[in-house]
Amino acid sequence: MKPKILQIRKGILENNDVLAHKLRQKFSQKNILVINVVSSPGSGKTEFLTVLIKKLIKKGLKVCAVVGDLATDNDALRLKSSGAPSYQINTNGNCHLDANMIEKSLTKIPWENADIIFIENVGNLVCPASYDLGENIRIVLISVTEGEDKPLKYPTMFNSSDICVISKIDLSRAVEYNKKIAIQNISSVSPDIKIFETSAKKDIGVDKIVSYLSIKKNKHY
Amino acid sequence: MKPKILQIRKGILENNDVLAHKLRQKFSQKNILVINVVSSPGSGKTEFLTVLIKKLIKKGLKVCAVVGDLATDNDALRLKSSGAPSYQINTNGNCHLDANMIEKSLTKIPWENADIIFIENVGNLVCPASYDLGENIRIVLISVTEGEDKPLKYPTMFNSSDICVISKIDLSRAVEYNKKIAIQNISSVSPDIKIFETSAKKDIGVDKIVSYLSIKKNKHY
């Protein structure tokens, strides 16, 4: 890549970081916990979030959601079924969300009253890793069907995340998933990451994340 | 996005297209069929290619492979087990292969003697769609575990591909895969795409692709 292009890319990332920092301050003033959820396409982000948000709302928390996709507004419609006000950002072919898109989307949801805002990123294990969205917690989802080696192949995404949710564990046997190797690989690129095993479909493991986030919520951000 | 950045991005793509065109001519002169394989992370590209290449070699065809990843050389090692000379391009965090990387990789494999060259792209359903690598055929893999809606959410990748390989069909029942809806969705964004259903693990459907590619190989490119 030529130096000029590198310089411009650096500029884009720097501008994004400045805006993300401002967003984080804005959220912090209202004591809102913001969570950026990233994964490959088809890892089950929307299903996981729908189940998780339902449970958080049942606990009395106010939740909003923003979801990014290249095309369609399917995911916002699915997320709305959880009871949370949800807004779809159509990225028009862009491979990730950025802080600017998040700032604009805030006019579309009652974010100021929320306890937690979930941001469901574009399904992509590469590009979203570089874009801070002003979140407090980054969750990377990885389904058992994707193979145990993915953390080694996409280290930046795992290394930049605070929580790893292993999804679709009800399929572990069918895909001959090797849990020990998977956890070894995750920990080798991201030693401090917190790992949860879940199946949104069978309602396994989601309650543990509800408890964890409820505690996190009580810390001031 | 600012006009200056758009202009530079357009320039990068134009330069890439020029080089890809040259590569296609170079491959054509030697009557080599070049196939670019794209998918999400974990769709089973490497397993599919390993089984497919073994069968093609058994038929007497000479095959080479080039594989791109952000980190690790696991996939080239796995592909080598098929019997094909294979070279790993480490993209150092870049989210797609480009024509320049392909040109450089040619010094590492006996490409001039090959009948077919497979290029296994970085696992990403967004960015590789925009980069012509000089291929004759683009194959997009989508596993039944990823959900039926992915063609609607990543239309450019499906629309720019010639063949769609639905992988891991042995898991269809476990994930309650709706084949009718999936095929409807694929066809709605890419009406002329050729669809194959496969399980590399159970050796289902791969022979049909072997026959198809053998016939394609006999056409001069």
Q: What is the pLDDT of residues A11-50, one digit of tens each?
A: 788 899 999 999 999 999 999 999 999 999 999 999 999 9
pTM of the model: 0.90
Q: What chain A residue is nearest to B39 in terms of C-alpha separation?
A: A41
Mean pLDDT of A71-94: 94
B125 closest CB neighbour out of A41, A147, A171: A41
User: Contact, A62 vs A112, CB < 8 A?
Assistant: no
Which residues, in sequence order, are bridge partners of residue A166?
A: A142, A197
Cβ <8 Å between B70 and A155? yes
The percentage of residues in chain A with a pLDDT greater than 90, rounded to a whole number, is 88
Question: What string of DSSP letters covers chain A?
Answer: --HHHHHHHHHHHHHHHHHHHHHHHHHHHTT-EEEEEE--TTS-HHHHHHHHHHHHHHTT--EEEEEEESS-SHHHHHHHTTTS-EEEEE-TT-SS--HHHHHHHGGGTTGGG-SEEEEE--S-SSGGGG---S-SEEEEEEEGGG-TTHHHHSHHHHHT-SEEEEE-GGGTTTTT--HHHHHHHHHHH-TT-EEEE-BTTTTBSHHHHHHHHHHHHHS--
Compute how many other C-beta atoms are within 10 angstroms of the C-beta atom of residue A61: 18
Distances (CA, A) of A21 to A28, A120, A133, B2: 11, 19, 8, 21
* A and B: number of Cβ contacts within 8 A: 110
The percentage of residues in chain B with a pLDDT greater than 90, rounded to a whole number, is 88
Probe site for chain A from B7, B10, B125 (most A CB atoms < 10 A): B125
Measured CB to CB, residues of chain A less than 8 Å from chain B are 4-5, 8, 12, 40-42, 69-72, 74, 93, 95, 122-127, 143, 145-147, 149-150, 152-156, 168, 171, 174-175
Probe site for chain B from A175, A185, A189, A190 (most B CB atoms < 10 A): A175
Q: What chain B residue is nearest to A94 in terms of C-alpha separation?
A: B126
User: Contact, B89 vs A89, CB < 8 A?
Assistant: no
Q: Which residues contact A215 (CB under 8 A, 6 or more apart)?
A: none
Q: What is the pLDDT of residues A172-199, one digit of tens each?
A: 999 999 999 999 999 999 999 999 999 9
More confident residue, A87 or A221: A87
Q: Identify the sign of the CA torsion B11, B17, B22, B27.
A: positive
> What is the token pair recorded at A78?
């699915």
Computed over every residue of chain A, the mean pLDDT equals 94
ipTM above 0.90, yes or no: no
